[in-house]
């Protein structure tokens, strides 16, 4: 099978469970650390990969200051949409996908942080067997306005959480990839912010996370299996 290309934006947002599931499915992973200057493939090379995965990041899509790779990544996502390369984009990656497809990304009135239920508005092969109203973990200051031709699959309070652009490109604004170690690192690093913004503070969010992480990992497994099937990734 061909390798899956993974675009990682910083050390604190690795593929985590997404990478584990793909390796368990016997895929080779070609992980590019964009923050370290590792090069993106040319758009013409995309068809040599079985799929494209773009991860989250601490940056926002409009950040400047030496982050030219964000614009280059959007161009690669445009090429993936044109060439119908199966694509899964998470967090910042999902917002990059929205911009590549012609939508918009803008700052929220406040931070979305913690575990929220999502409501399904449509079903396709990516979400068809997911049970109603799962809780998902979000941490973001920006959100997106989908392009007119995108399909909204699930939202939280009218804010897109899962969507599809084209036929084989999906975005999720939450973080299905988190495991205990990864989330603990995020919580430790953001302890001050969490104390100021999350009801009940860090202790309450840790307690909620301990309760939900296993279900979140199972959801990630379902989404990855569905992505491979709906995107026909094994057939490429």
The domain containing residue 180 runs over which residues? 4-235
In the chain, the number of structural domains is 1
Structure tokens at 223: 């989404």
Q: What is the mean pLDDT of each run of 10 residues along the chain (236 residues)?
A: 95 97 97 96 94 94 78 96 98 98 96 97 96 96 96 97 98 98 97 96 98 98 98 94
What pLDDT is stored for residue 68 in this prediction? 83
Q: Tell me which DSSP letter residue 21 carries.
A: H
Of 143, 141, 138, nearest in space to 115 by CA:
138
Q: What is the CATH number of the domain that holds 156?
A: 3.40.50.880
Per-residue pLDDT tens over the stretch 143-189: 999 999 999 999 999 999 999 999 999 999 999 999 999 999 999 99
What pLDDT is stored for residue 236 in this prediction? 86
The C-alpha atoms of residue 222 and residue 83 are separated, in whole angstroms, by: 25
Of 97, 180, 172, nearest in space to 138 by CA:
172
């Amino acid at each position: 099978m061909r390798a899956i290309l993974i675009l990682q934006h910083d050390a604190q947002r690795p593929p985590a469970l997404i990478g584990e599931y793909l390796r368990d499915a016997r895929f080779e992973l070609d992980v590019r650390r964009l923050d370290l200057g590792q090069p993106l493939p040319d758009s013409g090379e995309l068809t040599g990969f079985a799929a494209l995965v773009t991860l989250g990041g601490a940056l926002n899509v409009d950040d400047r200051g030496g982050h030219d790779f964000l614009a280059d990544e959007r161009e690669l996502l445009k090429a993936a949409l044109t060439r119908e390369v199966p694509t899964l984009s998470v967090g910042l990656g999902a917002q990059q996908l929205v911009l590549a497809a012609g939508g918009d990304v803008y700052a929220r009135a406040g931070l979305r942080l913690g575990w929220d239920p999502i409501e399904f508005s449509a079903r396709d092969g990516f979400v068809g067997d997911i049970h109603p109203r799962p809780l998902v973990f979000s941490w973001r200051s920006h959100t997106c306005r989908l392009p007119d031709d995108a399909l909204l699959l699930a939202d939280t309070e009218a804010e897109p959480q899962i969507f599809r652009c084209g036929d084989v490109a999906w975005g999720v604004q939450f973080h299905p990839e988190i495991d205990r170690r990864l989330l603990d690192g995020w919580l430790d690093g953001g302890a001050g912010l969490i104390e100021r913004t999350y009801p009940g503070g860090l202790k309450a969010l840790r307690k909620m996370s301990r309760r939900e992480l296993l279900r979140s990992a199972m959801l990630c497994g379902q989404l990855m299996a569905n992505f491979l099937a709906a995107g026909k990734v094994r057939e490429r």
